[in-house]
A and B are shown apart, each in its own frame.
Chain A
Amino acid sequence: MSDQTKIIYIAGIGIISPLGCGADATEQTLRKDRSAIAPLNAKVFPIQQPPPLPVGQVTDLPDSPLPRTHRLTIAAAREAMSGYSCVPDAVIIGTTTGGILTTEELLIKEEKDSKKYRYHGLTTVAEELADAVNCTGPALTVSTACSSGAIAISMALKMLQSGEEEWILAGGADSLCRLTYFGFHSLQLVDPKGSRPLDANRAGMSVAEAAGLLLLSTIKPKNPLGQILGCGLSCDAYHPASPHPKGKGAFQAMRNAINDARSNARAVHYINLHGTGTPDNDLAESKAIRSLFATPPPLSSIKGATGHSLAASGAIEAIISSICIQKGFLPANTGCIEPDPELNLKPILVPSNQPVSVVLSNSFGFGGNNACLLIGKADTPPSPSPEPERLPGPFTILGKACITGAGHTKESMERFAKLESIAGTLDLDSISEQLPVRKIRRLKRFSRIALALVEAAKQDSGLKQSPHSVFMGSGWGALSDTYDFLNKLQNSNEKFSSPIDFVGSVHNSATGNIAILHDATGANVTCSGGDYSFEQALLAADNFLTDTAETAFVLAADETNEHYSPLFDPSIDANAPLADGGGAFYLTRKAIPGKPALELIFYQKQVENSVNKLITTLGKYSSQEEYHMILAGIPASDASDGEAQLDEFMKKTGLDIPVIHYRKFTGEFAAASSVAAVMATYLLEENIVEAGKKILVLGFGKNLTAMKFSKQTA
């Protein structure tokens, strides 16, 4: 049941950053206007080419066998959940680094044991977080570079407003690692003197680490800390690593957040800037602010104090915004001595005490990926909702495409229809054949698969217009770019690293490029959920696409890399041939009779009772007789658990319909379920399935998922 007037309370906050551990320590450091940026400590990781660059690092992080990002996350979660005995219905974390610091150390040691790399995947951060707070609902990961944390909170807001969830723990976390430390340096975006946002002499950012989590709820807690009033997403669709020079996307995201809250620019009392300290970011943000606000309210960037904690930044800044509201306090723009006259902004130069009711918190990232949050006082009255409420429903499929070892959609589906294997890796030239040569010259396998998929899905739709939004899932992201970056770094004793590879290695590099080529300036969300990444992208689309007029590309893709895939993905047998590819859809919310429709109806962690819950949920949608076929996905790494779950499901439902184990056709790769979704659509479109019947694509293993495919009736 959708209810746009639902109030979303901030029930708890947890923060660990260079400023200190916990909300109190954070506030105290901010009140002192002291920068925590300091040269990289060799305890975080040693470097071969001194001097160390200034960074924002967390000191006194408790030791544990988990990678640093995971430890930061758990520390923030403990604080956010303190005083609460509730179990979150979902956890959503924004992260870009995941366990890569640990992976880098293992790679340097040339460790060959794949078990040691088990925390590499971004999804493991959300999984560990879910375990720590006993959450059995969806454990979701957003990876949209520096806006990840803000988008994770936005997604929680939308899920709470429109779904059945009552408690969601959401935020962001990133640890320092070689990839980001050397990557931003290779782009000449690091200020050797430490970040000085908005200063006339600013010369870049300082890479940092942190974690921030907010316990959000539709239920009013005893002592609410604030409200999330609204969120706004946008994409510049301009450049992979530079902001739109006029701040077009930033302006749109801020305006969307204010509109989402049904508020207005005059109501904003304070802006917590993205303000990284790079000349381009601060200039673009200032232009966006001056376009939106006739007289900008007090504003500051705290990144001169904390550094830029990437995926965590949007979350820790949302938490700091809520502290500002609670304490009636505005932090200074630490590091800024002489505000740059070109920006024409007046940053707060000394921390001050003054009442604040509404804060706008900005986060912008690589890929032109923007997210803004509007945060308000705990007792902000709800805004009346003039708009009809959204009812969750299926997406209409306007176009579909897949890439497999067999080729593009036609070759793949023809082979599948003959029940032949489509597993393998398509050569790069065939993948790229429909793509503009000049525009993809810097892109490697992962981004090319993604771009080719959406291009083909658009062609399949017959539409000239591309969709406004993009939602993508990937288990492992840009492995080739990451391999090339780390390899060149190591081979040069950390002297040289490739800016092109760094920009390409970012998990959302593919979606950023899709946006550029298709001028998709709406929401642009990349999820990472291991073998359930496509389902996570679909879940994100379900939450952010609320208007029947809106359209989106929803896709998943994974590339294999001969060095990394067998180490990272436990389903891949190092001695078996590799497989990769993905599937993409051009979707709309509008119902169109005769067209196939797709709906994610179940996503839960596998626990004792989850098969029963799946059966109950299915019963709410259709009677069993309506199902014609099951496409079942059981990742090789979870074969015995998955088979047992499928057996239990078949026995308990008594369904007597064909079950196709789709990974036997696609091969083992994380995005395989997106290809299964294309298979299901193909079976409906080709009328291989009886009229009126439905197909289920079920995922088993660590999670239980269900997607329903049907043809819409007149």
Chain B
Amino acid sequence: MDELIKKLKVQLIEILNLSDVTPEDFDENAQLVGGDLGIDSIDVLEIVVMVEKEYGVVINNKEIAEKVFTSLASLAEFIVKSSPTSSS
């Protein structure tokens, strides 16, 4: 999980061009959307595309999305839970 969180931080910084944020600054438990980073609905959709492309995990339901995007940690948790490659 820690590895995934680390990787997600790098990926989010890259796709959202958070050029003034380092992975060390990125608090995985902080509010992800509408928080200090200024992440909004368009960014969320960009993350949705990335998560599907990189992890094969589809997020297409508003209620689920709201929970998943609470924080980076909750996103990582959802990916682990839903990943087609995860142990099942």
CB-based contact B42/A240 at 8 Å: yes
Whether A45 is near chain B, meaning CB under 8 Å from some CB there, is no
Given A239-B40, A242-B41, A438-B38, A498 contacting B19 (CB threshold 8 A): no
Please count how many residues in chain B sit with their CB below 8 Å of the partner chain's CB atoms. Answer: 18
CB-based contact A496/B53 at 8 Å: yes
Distance in angstroms between the alpha carbons of A438 and B39 in the assembled complex: 10
A189 nearest in chain B by CB position = B45
Count: A-B pairs, CB below 8 Å:
44
* B14-71 at interface with A (beta carbon < 8 Å): 15-20, 38, 40-43, 45-46, 48-49, 52-53, 60
**Chain A neighbourhood of B18, CB < 8 A:** 441
Map CB proximity to B onto A305-342 as digits: 1 under 8 Å, 0 otherwise: 00000000000000000000000000000000000000
**Chain B neighbourhood of A496, CB < 8 A:** 49, 52-53
Given A239-B40, A496-B52, A496-B53, A441 contacting B45 (CB threshold 8 A): no
Map CB proximity to B onto A485-504 as digits: 1 under 8 Å, 0 otherwise: 00000001001111110010
Q: Is the interface of A mostly helix, strand, loop or mixed?
A: loop
Given A441-B16, A442-B16, A499 contacting B46 (CB threshold 8 A): yes
Distance in angstroms between the alpha carbons of A439 and B46 in the assembled complex: 17
Whether A435 is near chain B, meaning CB under 8 Å from some CB there, is no
Which has the most chain A C-beta neighbours within 10 Å: B18, B43, B49?
B49
CB-based contact B19/A441 at 8 Å: yes
B37 nearest in chain A by CB position = A438
Distance in angstroms between the alpha carbons of A503 and B49 in the assembled complex: 15
**Chain A neighbourhood of B20, CB < 8 A:** 437-438
B87 to chain A: closest CB distance in Å? 26
CB-based contact B52/A500 at 8 Å: no
Map CB proximity to B onto A660-683 as digits: 1 under 8 Å, 0 otherwise: 000000000000000000000000
CB-based contact A503/B17 at 8 Å: no
**Chain B neighbourhood of A187, CB < 8 A:** 42, 45
Distance in angstroms between the alpha carbons of A188 and B44 in the assembled complex: 11
B77 to chain A: closest CB distance in Å? 22
B42 touches which of A439, A442, A492 (Cβ 8 Å): A442
CB-based contact A188/B45 at 8 Å: yes
Map CB proximity to B onto A430-441 as digits: 1 under 8 Å, 0 otherwise: 000000011101
A240 nearest in chain B by CB position = B42
A503 touches which of B16, B42, B53, B60 (Cβ 8 Å): B42
Distance in angstroms between the alpha carbons of A114 and B19 in the assembled complex: 36
B52 to chain A: closest CB distance in Å? 7
A444 nearest in chain B by CB position = B17
A450 to chain B: closest CB distance in Å? 18
**Chain B neighbourhood of A497, CB < 8 A:** 49
B18 nearest in chain A by CB position = A441
B55 to chain A: closest CB distance in Å? 13
Whether A186 is near chain B, meaning CB under 8 Å from some CB there, is yes
Given A437-B19, A441-B18, A442-B16, A492 contacting B43 (CB threshold 8 A): no
Distance in angstroms between the alpha carbons of A441 and B48 in the assembled complex: 18
Map CB proximity to B onto A464-507 as digits: 1 under 8 Å, 0 otherwise: 00000000000000000000000000001001111110010000
Distance in angstroms between the alpha carbons of A442 and B16 in the assembled complex: 7
Given A437-B19, A437-B20, A492-B53, A498 contacting B40 (CB threshold 8 A): no
A705 to chain B: closest CB distance in Å? 37
Given A186-B49, A441-B18, A492-B53, A500 contacting B41 (CB threshold 8 A): no
CB-based contact B43/A500 at 8 Å: yes
Could you list 11 further interchain pairs (A-B, Cβ under 8 angstroms) beyond the known A441-B19, A500-B42? A187-B45, A188-B45, A188-B60, A241-B42, A242-B41, A437-B19, A441-B38, A495-B53, A499-B46, A500-B15, A500-B43
Q: What 5 A-B pairs come out closest when comparing CB atoms?
A: A499-B45, A441-B17, A500-B46, A437-B20, A496-B53
Q: List 17 A-B contacts (CB under 8 A).
A: A188-B60, A239-B40, A240-B42, A437-B19, A437-B20, A441-B16, A441-B17, A442-B16, A492-B53, A498-B46, A499-B42, A499-B45, A499-B49, A500-B15, A500-B42, A500-B46, A503-B42
Point out residues on A near B: beta carbons under 8 Å.
Answer: 186-188, 239-242, 437-439, 441-442, 492, 495-500, 503
